[in-house]
Amino acid sequence: MSARPAVWCPSTRTDLSAYPDLAVSAGTMTRTSLRAQSDDVAAVMAAIAEKNPFGRLGVPEDMARTVAFLASDDAAYITGQEIMVAGGGGAGHLTELSAIDRHVMTPESRFRLVPMTPRDPHEAGRAASTLELFFDLVFVVAVSTAAAQLHHGLSEGHALDAIANYGFVFFGIWWAWMNFTWFATSFDTDDWLYRVLTILQMGGVLVFASGIGPAFGEHDYSVLVIAYVVMRGALVAQWLRASRLSGPTRRATLIYATGIALVQVLWLASLLLPSGVFTVALIVLIAAELIVPIVAERTGTTPWHPHHITERYGLFTLILLGESLLASANAIIEAQRDVESPGRLIGIAALTLIATAALWWIYFWPPHHHAIRDVASSLAYVYGHFFVFAAAGAFSAGIEIETDVLTGHTALPYASFAYTIPLAVFVLGIWALAIRPHADRVVNTALPLAALLVLIDPLIPVPFALTAVILAGAVVVLVWRRVRA
Q: 403-431 pLDDT, tens per residue?
A: 888 777 777 777 788 889 999 999 999 99
Which has more pLDDT, 411 or 179?
Answer: 179
pLDDT band at 465 (very low <50, low <70, confident <90, very high): confident
pLDDT band at 64 (very low <50, low <70, confident <90, very high): confident
The yes-or-no verdict on residue 133 having pLDDT over 70 is: yes
**Domain end position, chosen among 103, 120, 154:** 103
Whether 187 shows a pLDDT value over 90: the answer reads yes
Same-domain check for residues 83 and 134: no
State the pLDDT confidence band at 220, using cuts at 50, 70 and 90.
Answer: very high
pLDDT tens-digit series, residues 94-112: 444 444 444 444 555 667 8
71 plus 178 within the same structural domain? no
What does the pLDDT read at residue 5?
44
Residue 328 has pLDDT above 70, yes or no: yes
> What average pLDDT does range 429-455 have in this prediction?
94
Are 92 and 139 in the same domain?
no
Give the per-residue pLDDT at 49: 65
**Average pLDDT of the chain, as a whole number:** 83
What is the percentage of the chain residues whose pLDDT exceeds 90? 53
| Mean pLDDT (whole number) for 32-52 | 50
Asked if residue 471 and residue 418 are part of one domain, the reply reads yes
Give the pLDDT band (50/70/90) at residue 8: very low
Residue 113 lies in a domain: no
200 occurs within a structural domain: no
DSSP string, 384-436: HHHHHHHHHHHHHHHHHHHHHHHHTS---TTTTHHHHHHHHHHHHHHIIIIIG
Per-residue model confidence (pLDDT) at position 341: 65
pLDDT at 346 (0 to 100): 82
What's residue 440's pLDDT?
92
Binning pLDDT at 50, 70 and 90, where does residue 58 land?
confident
Residue 140 has pLDDT above 90, yes or no: yes
* pLDDT average, residue stretch 468-483: 91
CA–CA distance, 225 with 176 (Å, rounded to integer): 12
Is the model's pLDDT at 284 over the cut of 90? yes
| Percent of the chain whose pLDDT exceeds 70 | 80
Claim to verify: residue 308 and residue 417 sit in the same structural domain: yes
**Does residue 434 register a pLDDT over 70?**
yes
What is the residue type of 399?
Answer: I
Report residue 470's pLDDT band, with 50, 70 and 90 as the boundaries.
very high
15 has a pLDDT exceeding 70: no
Residues composing the chain: 485
Q: What confidence score (pLDDT) does residue 104 get?
A: 46
CA distance 46 to 35: 12
Q: What is the H or E stretch that residue 81 is in?
A: strand 81-85
Q: Are strands 22-26 and 81-85 parallel, antiparallel or unpaired?
A: parallel
pLDDT at 7 over 80: no
Q: Answer whether residue 420 is part of any domain.
A: yes
**Mean pLDDT for the stretch of residues 29-52:** 50
Q: Which residues contact 376 (CB under 8 A, 6 or more apart)?
A: none
Of 261-270, 335-344, 405-414, 432-441, which gets the smallest average pLDDT? 335-344
Question: pLDDT at residue 39 above 50?
Answer: no
Q: Please give the pLDDT value at position 111.
A: 78
pLDDT of residue 424: 95
CA distances from 241 to 99, 100, 117, 187, 309 (A): 21, 22, 10, 10, 21
On whether both 324 and 466 belong to a single domain, the answer is yes
List the domain range (segments joined by +) for residue 154: 130-193+208-222+297-480
Judgement on whether residues 184 and 328 belong to the same structural domain of the protein = yes
The total of structural domains in the chain comes to: 2
Residues 153 and 65 in one domain: no
Decide if 406 is inside a domain. yes
- What integer is the mean pLDDT of 52-68? 75
Residue 2 lies in a domain: no
Buried-state track 297-316, b at ≥16 Cβ within 10 A, e below 16: beebbbbbbbbbbbbbbeeb
In a domain, 364, yes or no: yes
Cβ proximity of 143 and 204 under 8 Å = no
Do residues 184 and 61 share a domain? no
Together in a domain, 147 and 37 = no
pLDDT of residue 345: 80
96 vs 230, higher pLDDT: 230
419 and 304 within one domain: yes
List the 22-26 sheet strands across, edge first.
Answer: 8-9, 22-26, 81-85
Looking at the structure, tell me whether residues 99 and 153 fall in a common domain.
no
At residue 335, the pLDDT reads: 62
**Within a domain: residue 125?**
no
Q: Give the Cα separation of 169 and 225 in Å (integer).
A: 10
What is the C-alpha to C-alpha distance for residues 142 and 174, in angstroms, rounded to an integer?
Answer: 10
247 part of a folded domain: no
pLDDT, position 347:
79
CATH of the domain at 26: 3.40.50.720
Mean per-residue pLDDT for 250-273? 96
Mean pLDDT of 241-250: 87
Q: What angle do CA 34, 35, 40 make, to 5 degrees?
A: 120
Residue 473: band (very low, low, confident or very high) from pLDDT cuts 50, 70, 90: very high
